């Protein structure tokens, strides 16, 4: 349960119709398996104790009494097991029969939730046997305990923050306004659904979409346990289709047509973070008060088995990735198109270096010009070689400009920068930050002045990763009139350029784009060694794949350094030692705070994803905020890891 992770499971067990004693044994097998895996919440199918397909046998007293007896046995046999078990059972209350989800925990019945929406069509006749449950909660006597009974029940864990369980049963999910909607608005973060959904062709697709979309709408985790093959009788077949979803993502899903045990770790902190940030998610019990039942779980550290992408900004599937890249390029171009049209500019000025960021910027600008029907000659690409420029990047900048049909201007800035060094009394042999930034600011001055000459605007090239780290020269490459890459992380820049290369029909353009992709990331502000780039950004500031990972989880969910480290270790542990992951995480946190003043005055630029660092919307952060809380957590983590 550390860091908000909770292991949960859904199990379809082997049942015999109308044989509660046999079914109890199958249930206990699933319970013991879940116990070995340190599962904290186990959901079993609808009416699992009796079996769902008993039909008119539900009117038989022997079946109901035996079901209740076996429920008592399960309660006794799980008295020492620290796991919430949600099992379906038929229960008589006030001479009426209800289809119920019974919440069991360590010999205690936490509560009983009755099904409300009873199907009564085609092959289903639940309304023939059961009474619809009501939202109001009352106390009933069950197996010698005073037990809350009703739909409006929330099961709240006192020692696991944000763990609030609720239930709806099978058909309850398939109606226009499912009970889980009210449960989530009242505070439930995990919805349990004991179900018995029969199998027909393509129904699994609809069922999957239904469960995942409900978890997305409700910003919750959803545990769906469906009846397995033992229920197949007469005209119907049951497949045991289990799912565990979290905010729209399917974390785990079983196969079909055999009984399955399915488990996953849900992230309660992530759900809480999204609810906190979503202003339209308003807690409201719908005018029907909820009864809250409290319990305490045994605290353990959940071993993570779920997958964490090394590139959270980038889809792993090629088809999805290509679609995302095309969409982002269009969003960037549409933003620039509006700015150009609004200002009446027919020229754009871009500092072209032969690197990834300026390459993406000129590709986006070309697309915007095409949208406006403007000739690409109006794109003025300025290459400004200086002390660190290599033949490779210079050649790529020139070739790229020509292949796109833009206008190329070459202005060597060596003498201007040397004059500036003389003016301010700086030794040209001292390769410090003044040496580097003077070149960046000289280039920006040239771009701004050329923009005045041609009545155009300077297009910024810097990306979001650089902005997060403050890896930009203040009033140098930091400044422009419209920054097309400002919400694109460095790892995504590479994929956007690659997508353009893969989809262009011009062979020479593709060739130069591929060479840009193969070139090390560098500002090229220090002299090359034997004609080769000597200043590699990732050697200085750290791997961008790590920094983008840190950026995503810090800004998207507000996670602290310790949890981010844990996730990074899971994602990158095969390639980076703990000390390396920690080193660059500490660098990221320190620079993120120390350099925010640079982000406070950023130019406009298009937002392309769920994360951006614009001071006008997505990151309204004080420029002088203290990082002490984050650094203290890093210090504690360092001590735990035993790092020097």
Q: What is the pLDDT of residue 123?
A: 58
CA distance 422 to 417: 9
pLDDT, mean of residues 112-122: 86
Instruction: Report the top-level CATH class of 318-641.
Output: alpha beta
CA distance 582 to 578: 6
Query: Is residue 450 over pLDDT 60?
Result: yes
Beta bridge partners of 111: 103
Burial class (CB in 10 A: 0-12, 13-18, 19+), 292: middle
Query: Is residue 549 over pLDDT 70?
Result: yes
CA distance 561 to 628: 12
| Interior angle at CA 459, CA 455 and CA 463, nearest 5 | 170
pTM of the model: 0.88
Provide the phi-psi class of 4: left if phi over 0, else alpha when psi is between -120 and 50, else beta. Answer: left
Write the CB contacts of 322 (distance below 8 Å, at least 6 apart in sequence).
499, 502
**pLDDT tens digit string along 384-410?**
988 877 888 888 999 999 999 999 999
CA distance 430 to 434: 9
Write the CB contacts of 348 (distance below 8 Å, at least 6 apart in sequence).
336, 340, 365, 368, 369, 378, 379, 380, 456, 457, 458, 459
Least confident of 17-31, 272-286, 298-312, 391-405: 272-286
Query: Is residue 630 over pLDDT 60?
Result: yes
**pLDDT tens digit string along 340-381?**
999 999 999 999 998 899 999 999 999 999 999 999 999 999
Q: What is the pLDDT of residue 199?
A: 67
Of 24, 40, 46, 199, the catalytic one is 46
Query: Is residue 279 over pLDDT 80?
Result: no
Write the CB contacts of 577 (distance below 8 Å, at least 6 apart in sequence).
none
Query: Is residue 204 over pLDDT 90?
Result: no
CA distance 309 to 570: 9
| Interior angle at CA 89, CA 86 and CA 93, nearest 5 | 115
For residue 136, give the DSSP letter.
S
Q: What is the pLDDT of residue 617?
A: 82
The enclosing H or E element of 214 equals helix 203-218
Beta bridge partners of 223: 192, 244
- For this structure, is 319 an active site residue? no
pLDDT, mean of residues 90-118: 96
pLDDT above 90 covers a percentage of the chain that reads 75
Least confident of 23-37, 163-177, 343-357, 524-538: 524-538
Are 313 and 495 spatial neighbours (Cβ–Cβ below 8 Å)?
no
The DSSP result for 74-121, as a single string, is: HHHHTTT---EEEEEEEEEETTEEEEEEEEEETTEEEEEEE-----EE
CB neighbours of residue 217 within 10 Å: 15
The encoded tokens of residue 119 equal 């199907």
The encoded tokens of residue 338 equal 């509006």
pLDDT, mean of residues 517-522: 77
Q: What is the pLDDT of residue 539?
A: 74
Q: What mean pLDDT, rounded, does the chain reach?
A: 91
The encoded tokens of residue 59 equal 């009117």
pLDDT, mean of residues 437-465: 94
Longest dimension (CA), the chain: 101
**pLDDT tens digit string along 42-51?**
999 999 999 9
- For this structure, is 589 an active site residue? no
Query: Is residue 303 over pLDDT 60?
Result: yes
User: Which spans in 219-316 are helix H?
Assistant: 268-277
| Interior angle at CA 472, CA 470 and CA 477, nearest 5 | 150
The enclosing H or E element of 182 equals helix 179-185
CA 60 to each of CA 56, 94, 133, 467: distance values in angstroms, whole numbers, following the listed order:
8, 16, 21, 70
**pLDDT tens digit string along 209-240?**
999 999 999 999 999 999 887 676 666 677 77
206 three-state secondary structure: helix
CA distance 393 to 354: 4
**pLDDT tens digit string along 232-268?**
666 667 777 899 999 999 999 887 767 788 999 999 9
The DSSP result for 483-509, as a single string, is: ETTTT--HHHHHHHHHHHHHH---HHH
The encoded tokens of residue 260 equal 């399955």
For residue 304, give the DSSP letter.
P
- For this structure, is 115 an active site residue? yes
Strands 348-351 and 379-383: parallel
Q: What is the pLDDT of residue 529?
A: 64
Q: What is the pLDDT of residue 155?
A: 98
CA distance 70 to 66: 6
pLDDT, mean of residues 151-175: 95
pLDDT, mean of residues 148-157: 97
Report CA Rg, the chain.
Answer: 31
Q: Predicted confidence band at 604 (pLDDT cuts at 50, 70, 90)? A: very high
CA distance 641 to 644: 9
Query: Is residue 476 over pLDDT 60?
Result: yes
Query: Is residue 163 over pLDDT 70?
Result: yes
Superfamily of domain 2-278: Carbon-nitrogen hydrolase (3.60.110.10)
| Interior angle at CA 455, CA 450 and CA 461, nearest 5 | 55
Are 13 and 30 spatial neighbours (Cβ–Cβ below 8 Å)?
yes
Q: What is the pLDDT of residue 518?
A: 87
Q: What is the pLDDT of residue 282?
A: 77
CA distance 521 to 560: 29
**pLDDT tens digit string along 420-449?**
999 999 999 999 989 888 989 999 999 999
Q: What is the pLDDT of residue 239?
A: 75
Q: What is the pLDDT of residue 298?
A: 85
Q: Predicted confidence band at 122 (pLDDT cuts at 50, 70, 90)? A: low
User: Which spans in 373-476 are helix H?
Assistant: 391-404, 414-424, 433-454, 464-469
Domain ranges of the chain: 2-278, 318-641
Q: What is the pLDDT of residue 502?
A: 93
Of 54, 100, 156, 170, the catalytic one is 170
Of 24, 40, 68, 115, the catalytic one is 115
User: Alpha carbon 197 to chain centroid distance?
Assistant: 29
Are 226 and 237 spatial neighbours (Cβ–Cβ below 8 Å)?
no
Q: Is the dihedral of CA 322, 327, 330, 336 positive or negative?
A: negative
């Amino acid at each position: 349960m550390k860091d908000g992770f909770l292991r949960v499971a859904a199990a379809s067990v082997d049942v015999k119709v109308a044989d509660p004693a046999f079914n109890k044994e199958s249930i206990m097998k699933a319970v013991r398996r879940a116990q070995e895996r340190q599962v904290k919440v186990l959901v079993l199918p609808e009416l699992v104790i009796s079996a769902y397909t008993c039909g008119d046998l539900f009117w038989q007293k022997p079946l109901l009494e035996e079901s209740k007896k076996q429920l008592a046995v399960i309660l006794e046999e799980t008295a020492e097991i620290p796991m919430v078990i949600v099992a379906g059972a038929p229960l008589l209350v006030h001479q009426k029969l209800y289809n119920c989800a019974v919440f069991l925990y360590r010999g205690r019945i936490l509560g009983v939730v009755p099904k409300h929406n009873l199907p009564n069509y085609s092959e289903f006749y639940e309304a023939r046997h059961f009474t619809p449950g009501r939202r109001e909660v009352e106390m009933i006597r069950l197996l010698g305990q005073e037990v809350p009974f009703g739909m409006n029940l929330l099961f709240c864990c006192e020692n696991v923050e944000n763990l609030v369980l609720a239930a709806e049963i099978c058909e309850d999910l398939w109606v226009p306004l499912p009970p889980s909607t009210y449960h989530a608005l009242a505070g439930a973060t995990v919805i349990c659904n004991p179900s018995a959904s029969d199998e027909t062709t393509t129904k699994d697709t609809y069922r999957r979409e239904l469960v995942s979309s409900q978890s997305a709408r409700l910003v919750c985790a959803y545990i769906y346990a469906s009846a397995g093959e033992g229920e197949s009788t007469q005209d119907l077949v049951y497949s045991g289709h289990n799912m565990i979803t979290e905010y729209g993502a399917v974390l785990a899903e079983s196969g079909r047509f055999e009984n399955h045990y399915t488990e996953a770790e849900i992230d309660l902190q992530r759900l809480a973070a999204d609810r906190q940030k979503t202003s339209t998610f308003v807690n409201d019990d719908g005018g029907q008060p909820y009864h809250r039942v409290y319990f305490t779980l045994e605290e353990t550290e959940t071993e993570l088995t779920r997958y964490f992408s090394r590139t959270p900004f980038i889809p792993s599937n090629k088809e999805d990735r290509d679609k995302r890249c095309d969409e982002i390029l269009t969003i960037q171009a549409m933003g620039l198109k509006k700015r150009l049209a609004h200002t009446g500019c027919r020229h754009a000025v871009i500092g072209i270096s032969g690197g990834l960021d300026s390459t993406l910027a000129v590709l986006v600008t070309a697309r915007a010009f095409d949208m406006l029907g403007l000739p690409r000659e109006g794109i003025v690409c300025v290459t400004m070689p200086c002390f660190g420029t290599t033949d490779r990047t210079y050649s790529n900048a020139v070739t790229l400009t020509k292949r796109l049909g833009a206008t190329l201007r070459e202005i060597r800035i060596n003498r201007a920068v040397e004059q500036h060094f003389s003016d301010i009394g700086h030794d040209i042999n001292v390769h410090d930050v003044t040496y580097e930034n003077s070149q960046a600011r000289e280039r920006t001055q040239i771009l701004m002045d050329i923009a005045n000459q041609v009545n155009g605007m300077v297009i910024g090239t810097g990306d979001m990763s650089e902005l997060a780290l403050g890896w930009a020269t203040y009033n140098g490459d930091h400044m422009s009139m419209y920054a097309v890459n400002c919400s694109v992380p460095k790892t995504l820049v590479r994929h956007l350029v690659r997508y353009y290369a893969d989809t262009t029909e011009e062979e020479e353009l593709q060739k130069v784009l591929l060479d840009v992709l193969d070139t090390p990331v560098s500002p090229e502000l220090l002299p090359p060694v034997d004609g080769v780039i000597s200043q590699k950004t990732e050697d200085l500031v750290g791997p961008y794949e790590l920094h983008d990972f840190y950026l995503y989880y810090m800004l998207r969910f507000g996670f602290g350094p310790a949890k981010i480290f844990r996730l990074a270790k899971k994602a990158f542990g095969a390639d980076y030692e703990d000390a390396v992951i920690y080193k660059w995480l500490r660098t990221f946190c320190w620079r993120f705070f120390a350099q925010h003043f640079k982000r406070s005055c950023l130019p406009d630029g298009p937002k392309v994803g769920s994360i951006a660092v614009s001071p006008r919307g997505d990151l309204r952060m004080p420029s002088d905020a203290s990082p002490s809380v984050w650094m203290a957590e890093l210090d504690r983590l360092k001590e735990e890891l035993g790092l020097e």
